[in-house]
Structure 1
Amino acid sequence: MTMHDVLNRQRAAFMAELPVSLAVRKDRLNRAAAMIADNADAFCDALSEDFGHRSREQSMLTDIASSIAPIRHALKSVERWMRRDTRPVQFPLGLLGARAWVEYQPKGVVGVIAPWNFPVNLVMGPIAGIFAAGNRAMVKTSEFTPRTAALFEAVCGTYFAPDELAFFSGGAEVGKAFSELPFDHLIFTGATGIGRHILHAAADNLTPVTLELGGKSPVIVGKDADIAKATERVAIGKMLNAGQICLAPDYMLVPEAQEQAVVDGLKAAVSAMYPTLLANPDYTAIINDRHHQRLQDWVADARAKGATVETVNPAGEDFAGSNSRKMPLHIVRNATDDMIVMQEELFGPILPVRRYSGIDTAIAEVNRRDRPLGLYYFGPDADERRRVLDRTISGGVTLDDVVFHVSMEELPFGGIGPSGMGSYHGSDGFKTFSHAKAVFKQAKLDVAKLAGLKPPYGKATWTSIKRQMK
């Protein structure tokens, strides 16, 4: 079947099924969790093959467990999410017996375009909200993770009929055709540049779109921050998946007097966690040769333009002489705006560290760039923290750590401006993939006459007008 055929089949089955019961939603969620849990080992193998090496434990944490957790959360919460939301009506309609409420109704068929960096989790996270809301789904997987994509296609039929969930793989042409389908909703996770094309394609069908993009997520180290704790937590977030995370710390802003301490703290933390890299099973490789070369070129660009680059290579390993795509952390000092590392989202183990003279200078540095997907602040000063929260705009914030806000199921995850549009996760995801249908039930009395809405207009009409204009 073509993608159009599958879409038509899913939509017909969806319309025939309405209303989608709680039992059906829970059954699909349970089957989705089973699809991942039953094939966890195979998914970990496929992920490692796709990356050239990927830590098995990391894959279990970030792609297997983190896929099942939102599904389990949805299973526990969906009955509550489905309840009608009673709303007040204007005086005196409520006294006369009128009632208003919102019903959350499934939209229909939702398209999911998934990226390569977490190619299981960023399929199944949206699926949790999509199925909880009573929809069906079609998924376009990334061509950069072909083994993972093939595994999804191989196992899906054991758990789902094609009119419930279907997977499609292929390159840019397949992705373009997929994004042009008249879905009832489309969610895309990936680069900002591609997101613009997705939005254009969806516009022709007036398809509502959720865009989960990226950007340069800053770390602000406050003047009284615990440097050892802050640098260890930044190092954990930066080195996870070798920095190939949309929420990875992209650059650090540190007080002038603490720059050296921050650099030393980063080196110590990385060296303790990864005393070796090339043969270390805990450290992940860069996804492909093109991205590996891109990162090397960006480091060379920074050096050529005057940056000091400090490579964190505790064992003194020969990366240039290896055929591995593993890459150590490169700390870039004296990074300037004309360097690519300060212009583009890095998506790899490169970390510029820039100095600031006061917190308002750091805030201004953030605000003159595109609004980021995440922002991270370290420090005990409540006033300084409040100023950062009030004076910056970002998709989300983690205080005294990095990335963690994305794992909170009842916090909306999404960007703003170039870092994204819309959000999902938990109840917010349920609402994203639902249509909030307004319902009003009129009172038995002749309200139109009482409110002066029924011609001929007269005293009652003017009484109603004056009441509404008070």
Structure 2
Amino acid sequence: MSEVNLQTVLEAQKLAFRKGSPDIEKRKDSLKKLSLIIEENKDRLIEAVYQDFGLRSREETLFLEIFPLQDEIRHALKHLRDWTKRRYVRGAWFLLPSTAYYQYQPLGSVGIMGAWNYQVLLTLSPLIDAIAAGNHAILKPSEIAPASAEVLKEIINSNFPKEYIHCVTGDESLAKKFSALPFDHLFFTGSTKIGKLIMAAAAPNLTPVTLELGGKSPAIIHKSFSVEIAAKRIMAGKLFNAGQTCVAPDYVIIPQALNAKFELQVKKNVSRFYPNITQNEQYSHIINQDHYERLSSILIDAEEKGARIVELSDNTSMKDTLLTPKLVFNVSNDMELMQEEIFGPILPVLNLETIEEAVDYVNDKPKPLALYYFDNNEKRINWVLNNTLSGGVTLNDTVYHLAQHNLPFGGVGASGMGHYHGFDGFKTFSKKRAVMHQKRFAASDMLHPPFTGIKKKLIKIMGKLTRV
């Protein structure tokens, strides 16, 4: 789609919105239609994702993309009427008898840029929030996963009018034009590097942006916690989509004395999760050759700088873009795998002896999208929570905080800005509009100029009453 056509679609959406934004019933109907579309086309979507990756299991796409979308829609339908209610607040005493309230109103036409690693989920999940909030929307799935992008485009555009919801596909040049459009809000999921470019493109239009980025999410294991449980849960979260998940544990921090036990438990769990891994249809491939070569390169860099790389599968014969899981010990900060988000099935192990050292290390780095801490001691847990900052936290497990509909999901600092999911997604695509309703007779009428006589005395009294 050309730049002119993009602008035309946006103008048509804005014009349609001005003629009347979607009411609650239309929003509900649209969410139900989207749910039906997903259900009717789930096999096509699953096959397209498989095609994009070269191999990704049907069950993984169902569990990590289709099911969460349907559950998000169910949650939005259940709570939408309550979310849109007018909320009264206590008014200022000197403005009595006025009343004060706020209500959430849709912004207009919003842009949503999806991400290739979970193309279906990360394109349609923000759309659910945008529809619930009453907006019109234009979607731009990632060009890195073209098969799923085209299916999304077909099923959206054949079921919704262009002036309400529309999907466009194209290469990097289209993405640049898309991010520079004067949307009423722009939502982007992707890397920190590209997030900076998106924000810069949106700035001339003062378009507000939500950036869902990534980062190096640590998993810290206290020496008192069960290594067996921690290893199982860390590797389960790490190996979803072969590590190509924004909240995957990026590296582990443990005392050196736990290395051998951790290695043993990780090997056991990888064998249990993915037996005969090179022939296993439930273990995902890397998205493309470029990403495969990037991951291979950081392994070579680590080994050249003194790392010990542990192969975690029995069968290591490579094919296509399949990369088997690996642990990396003896890591140092000058290694590439400790400087950038890995986004693959490689797990560095950093040895630090105390929780204080671990927290200092994490705090010296850009703020991560997720933090995972394994401990059963409430005092230490609260200390870690109070002395770190990350987008989200899961205690004694990994990844699953993002599935909590009543919790916000989003980064902080280099890992992003803004939130979505549930009510927080509804708020992101809404304006929280303040309203004061004054009555026929108001105390404030007595404070109009000129300020003479009794008015001066009233202002002096007000000054005393408002002091702390």
What range describes the TM-score normalised by the shorter chain of this pair?
Answer: over 0.9
Task: Provide Cα deviations, 1:54-76, integer angstroms capped at 9, x if missing partner.
Answer: 11110111121122111111011
1:11-410 paired onto structure 2 within 5 Å: 11-18=14-21, 20-93=22-95, 96-314=96-314, 316-319=315-318, 322=319, 324-410=320-406
Q: CA deviation at 1:453?
A: 4.1
Q: In the alignment, is residue 468 of structure 1 matched against residue 466 of structure 2?
A: yes
Return the alpha-carbon distance in structure 1 between the equivalents of residues 442 and 359 of structure 2: 58
Return the alpha-carbon distance in structure 2 between the equivalents of residues 157 and 142 of structure 1: 17
1:101 is aligned with what amino acid?
Y
Return the alpha-carbon distance in structure 1 between the equivalents of residues 353 and 448 of structure 2: 64
- Structure 2 partner of 1:4: 7
8 Å Cα contact 2:65/2:118 also seen in 1: yes
Return the alpha-carbon distance in structure 2 between the equivalents of residues 26 and 137 of structure 1: 16
Return the alpha-carbon distance in structure 2 between the equivalents of residues 131 and 449 of structure 1: 42
8 Å Cα contact 1:277/1:326 also seen in 2: no
Return the alpha-carbon distance in structure 1 between the equivalents of residues 20 and 30 of structure 2: 14
Task: Provide Cα deviations, 1:376-416, integer angstroms capped at 9, x if missing partner.
Answer: 01111111111111111000000010011001011000000
Task: Provide Cα deviations, 1:213-247, integer angstroms capped at 9, x if missing partner.
Answer: 00000000012111111100001011110000000
Q: CA deviation at 1:194?
A: 0.3
8 Å Cα contact 2:232/2:269 also seen in 1: yes
- Structure 2 partner of 1:456: 451
Return the alpha-carbon distance in structure 2 between the equivalents of residues 52 and 140 of structure 1: 22
Q: CA deviation at 1:272?
A: 0.8
- Structure 2 partner of 1:443: 439
1:258 is aligned with what amino acid?
L
Task: Provide Cα deviations, 1:36-95, integer angstroms capped at 9, x if missing partner.
Answer: 1110000011100011111111011112112211111101110010001111111254xx
Task: Provide Cα deviations, 1:407-454, integer angstroms capped at 9, x if missing partner.
Answer: 10110000000000011110011111000110001132242244x343
1:233 is aligned with what amino acid?
R
- Structure 2 partner of 1:430: 426
Q: CA deviation at 1:465?
A: 2.5
Task: Provide Cα deviations, 1:250-293, integer angstroms capped at 9, x if missing partner.
Answer: 00001222121112111111111111122211110000000000
Return the alpha-carbon distance in structure 2 between the equivalents of residues 253 and 37 of structure 1: 41
5+ long unaligned stretches in structure 2:
none
CA RMSD across the alignment: 1.2
8 Å Cα contact 2:316/2:324 also seen in 1: no
113-122 or 31-40, which moves further after superposition?
A: 31-40
Return the alpha-carbon distance in structure 1 between the equivalents of residues 60 and 277 of structure 2: 15
- TM-score normalised by structure 2 residue count: 0.97
Q: CA deviation at 1:248?
A: 0.3
8 Å Cα contact 2:91/2:98 also seen in 1: yes
297-306 or 166-175, which moves further after superposition?
A: 166-175
8 Å Cα contact 2:53/2:284 also seen in 1: yes
2:451 is aligned with what amino acid?
P
Alignment length (residue pairs) = 462
Return the alpha-carbon distance in structure 2 between the equivalents of residues 67 and 200 of structure 1: 30
8 Å Cα contact 1:222/1:384 also seen in 2: no
8 Å Cα contact 1:220/1:362 also seen in 2: yes
Q: CA deviation at 1:461?
A: 2.0
- TM-score normalised by structure 1 residue count: 0.96
Return the alpha-carbon distance in structure 2 between the equivalents of residues 356 and 381 of structure 1: 19
Q: Secondary structure at the match of 1:138?
A: strand
Return the alpha-carbon distance in structure 2 between the equivalents of residues 128 and 180 of structure 1: 23
8 Å Cα contact 2:94/2:443 also seen in 1: no
Q: Secondary structure at the match of 2:126?
A: helix
Return the alpha-carbon distance in structure 2 between the equivalents of residues 424 and 47 of structure 1: 24
Return the alpha-carbon distance in structure 2 between the equivalents of residues 444 and 11 of structure 1: 37
